[in-house]
Amino acid sequence: MLDRADNSFVLPPEIDRRRTFAIISHPDAGKTTLTEKFLLYGGAIQMAGQVRAKGEARRTRSDFMQMEKDRGISVSASAMSFEFKDFWFNLVDTPGHSDFSEDTYRTLTAVDAAVMVIDGAKGVESQTRKLFEVCRLRDMPILTFCNKMDRESRETFDIIDEIQENLAIDVCPASWPIGVGREFLGCYDLLNDRLELMDRSDRNVIAESVEINGLDDPKLAEHVPANLLEKFLEEVEMARELLPEFDHQAFLDGTLTPIWFGSAINSFGVQELMEGIGKFGPKPQVCPSDVRPISPDESKVSGFVFKVQANMDPKHRDRIAFVRLCAGHFKRGMKLTHVRSKKIMAIASPMLFLASDRELAEEAWAGDIIGIPNHGQLRIGDALTEGEMLRFAGIPSFAPELLQSVRATDPMKAKHLDKALTQFAEEGAAKLFKPMIGAGWIVGVVGALQFEVLASRIELEYGIPVRFEQTQFTSARWLTGPKENVDKFIDGNKGHMATDHDGDPVYMTRLQWDIDRVERDFPELNLTDIKTVM
Ligand code: GDP
């Protein structure tokens, strides 16, 4: 998307009502619970409990894999679409665990906004901060939901101050909590002058809403006990003096975030947040490409792959490429050009992910996320267009921070291991390096847990038990420069060289000193730890 969000352009109504966003949070802040409630209000499911299997906490329909069930973490991102009032929401799920950050970074290239969920007792935690920084790189608009207000939480001003100071963003309260912990009564909706009261008896019930005519309305006292009311009125007065007012443009610029207080598990405050997403947007944004910015209202369809997921259904070897549509009105059966291979693909069974199920997408619009089943043709960063040879910009690939060699414990299965590894590399689950000297593979990941995930998936999905082992290398850098110099360097350093999954040369070492030396001695060459996948 472009550097700055823009809501001023006029779009066809179907595109105009689309809201494509992700939730960023630290594990345990309540992302899964909030997602369930979104779906509940989106009418996608009858009862939030249908998403979360009974007795098995932290599992949603978006968690497909065995590994996830075992560990209770969401390994791969997926997309969910649902309607809410006049809006069509596309929620792209981001894995919360820090080991999967690269996947998350890519996911964030496919959305126009993010909802930041924080725990009212814990405030801004490390993973939230990291993800926030990624959003900040792109000046992405952020809406904040302060969760778990039904528990003992921090003072409202402390929470807001912490966000402002820690994340250097202005915070504007969209609602204000009344009472904390056991005494938490609900919130005053500052944007709509409504009192929202929380119902503790039924967690799936929408809160009672009382229309109030401003803060001096005597009706407030009928619902709020005197001691709480006094504190609340004082705080709001202070807030109005000290905190910025809501400024739509500042929100779109990513310099101000509106904050709602609530309790996802009690379905409280969620609806107001969703109304905020609908009302303030942003609507689908312009996507940058190497040819020109692609506006969502262009008549020709185009989009890019931001994620590939294998074996969502373990019975099939298919992969699903998740595509963010950047422009146009897509219809099932359309023939699109796969720009990298210059081949035409007929998109016969595109999928929409409607929370409880996948469905064939008869049509989709700019802003939507569709899944395209394929046998490996579609890779992360690939563009699909109606013929134009363009590439979308900005999907990064990061150098792995950990390297290990891998081998099948049964040598007879070594050949099949190649296939499994190639697949995971295409999916973006790991980096795969083929050393120029010697046999075997070196696998690179961002976090140690990923080795375990991979080993478990290779065994589960391919029936190949494997062992990961230390290698003599700890760092990998992509090598670029004039071809002649690159070739000459490779010739002289074969023992340090490998190729990545795309065949690009990679320099490997265990010493930072080596990297510094190459940079000093070969000024015409570049060693980089980020490769932008095109
Ligand atoms: P995630 O790791 O961010 O996806 O967090 P979950 O949605 O799985 O929530 C983590 C834990 O916090 C679970 O035990 C939830 O039941 C609990 N939780 C979520 N929302 C609330 C809330 O509003 N109030 C309270 N008290 N607990 C909550």
- The closest of 97, 93, 115, 90 to 106, measured between CA atoms, is 93
Write 227-235 long-range contacts (CB < 8 A, 24+). 228/178, 228/179, 228/183, 228/185, 229/178, 232/176, 232/178, 232/179, 232/188, 235/156, 235/157, 235/176
pLDDT of residue 77: 38
Ligand 1 atom at shortest distance from the alpha carbon of 266:
23
pLDDT at 50 over 60: no
pLDDT at 534 over 80: no
DSSP letters of 185-242?
Answer: -EEEETTTTEEEE--SS-TTSPPEEEE-SSTT-THHHHHS-HHHHHHHHHHHHHHHHH
**The ligand 1 atom nearest the CA atom of 25:** 3
CB atoms under 10 Å from CB of 357, counted, come to: 10
How many whole angstroms from 241 Cα to the centroid of ligand 1?
33
Q: For 35-44, 257-266, 475-484, which range has the lowest pLDDT when averaged over its residues?
A: 35-44
**Model confidence at 59: pLDDT above 50:** no
For ligand 1, residues with CB inside 6 Å are 25, 27-33, 58, 96, 147-148, 150-151, 263-266
Compute the distance from residue 162 Cα to the ligand 1 centre, in Å. 21
* pLDDT reported for residue 528: 85
Question: Nearest residue CA, atom 27 of ligand 1?
Answer: 148
- Ligand 1: centre distance to CA 28 (Å): 6
Which of 23, 26, 28, 37 to mutate for ligand 1's pocket (most ligand atoms within 8 Å of CB)?
28
Q: How far is the CA of 77 from the centre of ligand 1 (A)?
A: 19
- Binding residue positions for GTP: 25-32, 93-97, 147-150
End-to-end CA distance of the chain: 15
Give the range among 31-45, 111-125, 257-271, 519-533 with minimum mean pLDDT: 31-45
| Model pLDDT for residues 336-378, shown as the tens digit of each residue | 999 989 999 999 988 887 655 567 788 999 999 999 988 888 9
Rounded to the nearest angstrom, the distance between the alpha carbon of 97 and the centre of ligand 1 is 15
CB 312 within 8 A of CB 294: no
Q: Is the pLDDT assigned to residue 49 strictly greater than 50? A: no
Number of C-beta neighbours around residue 152 at 10 A: 13
Residue that is written with structure tokens 């126009």 in the block: 112
d(CA 178, CA 186): 6
The span from the CA of 500 to the CA of 488, in Å, is: 18
Which of these ranges, 198-202, 395-399, 434-438, 460-464, has the smallest mean pLDDT?
Answer: 395-399
Helix/strand/coil (H/E/C) assignment for every residue in 489-515: HHHHCHHHEEECCCCCEEEEECCHHHH
80-132 residue pLDDT tens: 888 899 999 999 877 655 555 667 778 888 999 999 999 999 999 988 888 89
Measuring from atom 9 of ligand 1, which residue has the nearest CA? 30
**Chain segment 189-217, per-residue pLDDT in tens:** 999 888 998 877 766 666 677 888 888 88
| Confidence bin at 135 (pLDDT 50/70/90) | confident
Q: Give the nearest ligand 1 atom to 28 CA.
A: 2
Which ligand 1 atom sits nearest the alpha carbon of residue 29?
3
**What is the side-by-side strand order in the sheet with 170-173?**
79-84, 87-92, 18-25, 113-119, 142-147, 256-261, 170-173
The number of residues in the chain equals: 534
What separation in Å is there between the alpha carbon of 265 and the centre of ligand 1? 7
pLDDT at 493 over 50: yes
- Site to substitute for ligand 1 among 265, 266, 273, most atoms within 8 A of C-beta: 265
Query: What is the average pLDDT score of the chain?
Result: 85
Other beta carbons within 10 angstroms of residue 78's beta carbon come to: 25
pTM given for the model: 0.79
Per the annotation, where are the binding residues? 25-32, 93-97, 147-150
Ligand 1 centre to CA of 51 (Å) is: 14
Q: pLDDT grade, residue 438 (50/70/90)?
A: confident
Please tell me the residue having the least CA distance from ligand 1 atom 11. Answer: 28
Q: State whether ipTM is beyond 0.95.
A: yes
